[in-house]
């Protein structure tokens, strides 16, 4: 990380873009390869079922938007790019989405992302206890929001027995 942060902005941006483009394209091709391998097994017929065809059509239509937006998430990016490959999204649709998303991701990391990471590492180095308290507070907030939403959803559900 220190090497990238010490680079001029344009070089750091290009390096981050190249790294993420390689990663998402490898993931896409792993998905395509897995499906191609599956086609030669006894489960290959499942790729031709109506549900699979509908899912494939959905991904080919809306998949490029999902690919671009996946770059704003943590944890979904790999799954979405793998699904795009598995659904055999045409390269003419996948590549522009991957380029746009990768550029967006590289821009975010080259500006806000690396600065936030550097600040976090400085806080952790200065006060490990403070960093742990911050993580615990953030986890508590996330837990509270999740529990609150689930309770609200259960209260609105018509299946709720009183």
Q: Are 88 and 31 in contact (CB under 8 A)?
A: no
Residue 87: exposure state from Cβ atoms within 10 A (0-12, 13-18, ≥19):
buried
pLDDT tens-digit readout, 132-147:
888 888 889 989 998 9
The alpha helices in the chain, defined as continuous H runs, are 2-5, 9-38, 50-70, 77-86, 91-108, 114-126, 128-156
Query: Which two three-digit tokens encode residue 80?
Result: 């979405």
- pLDDT at residue 22, rounded to an integer: 96
pTM, two decimal places:
0.63
Domain boundaries, the chain: 2-126, 128-162
pLDDT tens-digit readout, 95-149:
999 999 999 999 988 888 767 767 777 888 888 888 788 888 888 998 999 898 8
């Amino acid at each position: 990380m220190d090497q990238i942060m010490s680079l001029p902005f344009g070089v750091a941006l290009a390096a981050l873009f190249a790294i993420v483009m390689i990663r998402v394209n490898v993931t896409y091709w792993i998905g395509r390869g897995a499906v191609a391998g599956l086609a030669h097994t006894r489960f290959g017929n499942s790729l031709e079922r109506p549900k699979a065809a509908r899912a494939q059509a959905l991904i080919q239509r809306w998949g490029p938007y999902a690919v671009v937006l996946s770059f704003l998430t943590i944890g979904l990016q790999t799954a979405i790019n793998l699904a795009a490959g598995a659904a055999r999204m045409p390269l003419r649709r996948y590549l522009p989405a991957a380029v746009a998303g990768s550029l967006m991701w590289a821009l975010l990391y080259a500006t806000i992302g690396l600065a936030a990471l550097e600040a976090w590492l400085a806080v952790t180095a200065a006060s490990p206890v403070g960093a742990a308290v911050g993580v615990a507070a953030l986890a508590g907030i996330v837990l509270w929001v999740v529990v609150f939403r689930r309770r609200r959803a259960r209260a609105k559900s018509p299946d709720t027995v009183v």
